[in-house]
A = this chain, B = another copy of it.
């Protein structure tokens, strides 16, 4: 089935300098920005279910094409009615292209695409821009990402330049292959991705070339991959300046509190990262006074909640002492409850940033976050 008209509309409700508080409207519904998207690698955020995501007020779940194309397989999910039906999740889903994971597997890459071996069973797979589009179509996400080339940082300038060129070429092929066909009654948006390392000129060029192809929204990839925050932000700013105000901007893989708030100030609307959930599983708690290592013996009899300033269900009910105990004896309840807290905490921070933009007070929040948080 074909689809006419834009499959996604972004509207900025308010701006505060470069920052925007807005909403993204898709055929599934609306989500508000700035927005943090928890990572449901294998169609579930680790330790959580879609019921938990609803309770947390999650608007968009990210899922990984690399993992899902191998297990259970995109066709299995398509037969189940798509990822929303499969995971019992009525919110939005954004899928990545699979590229990011594939590049960590030492793939053979040429102009056609990337050939890699499955970490599940060693089988060989060839991922192309077209195939990434087709797989994400089978998965049935609301927003799919083009296959890009993401070099680690630092990288030789030639490598970063080549990544920009190939990313642009692949983006054009992805755009040509993409049909915003109705998946289960819902149209599927496609986002391009800006590369260019930490070179503002290359970032600007990559943004222009991606924009020239034209997408429903724009990811900024290849950041938070080894560089410092001081190196990241100017490159991010250079890309954002080129991108149109009427499209959503998505900074891929950045999930630390300061990084998110600074990127929001530069005009970014969407974020994803495994950081809050991964930290949780290792017992690192996000709090309004900075990170806290729950394994520390000092918490053994601490009857305070994880963060006394937090209003999540975990902080309302359980103490540091109890959660530390469960963590230390490897009870799976511990990573789950800390995951819920960390996600609530980060979603609340992003919500506060949105409120601050609506009031024109984002700078005050930036200063507070920079003062009280370490990462």
Cβ of A303 within 8 Å of any chain B Cβ, yes or no, is yes
Closest approach, in angstroms, between the C-beta of A320 and any C-beta of chain B? 10
A-to-B contact residues, CB < 8 Å:
42-51, 67, 71-72, 76, 79-81, 86-88, 300-301, 303, 313, 317-319, 321-322, 324-326, 328-329, 331-333, 335-337
Stoichiometry, as copies per complex, reads 2
Is A43 a contact partner of B76 (Cβ separation < 8 A)? no
Query: What residues of chain B lie closer than 8 Å to A303, measured between beta carbons?
Result: 80-81
Partner of A331, one of B42, B86, B319, B331: B42
Which residues of B sit under 8 angstroms from A322, Cβ to Cβ? 43, 80, 86-88
Interchain CB contact under 8 A, B43 and A325: yes
Closest CB of chain B to A284's CB: distance in Å?
A: 17
Are A80 and B319 in contact, with the CB atoms below 8 A? yes
Q: How far is the CA of A318 from the CA of B88 in the complex (A)?
A: 6
Known: A301-B76, A322-B88. A329 touches B67 (CB 8 A): yes
Task: Select which of B88, B300, B318 is within 8 A of A76 by beta carbon.
Answer: B300
| Distance A46 CA – B335 CA, assembled complex (angstroms) | 12
Minimum CB–CB distance from A133 to chain B (whole Å) comes to 23
Cβ contacts under 8 Å, A76 to chain B: 300-301, 321, 325
A44, B301: Cβ atoms under 8 Å?
no
CA distance A50 to B313 in the complex (A): 11
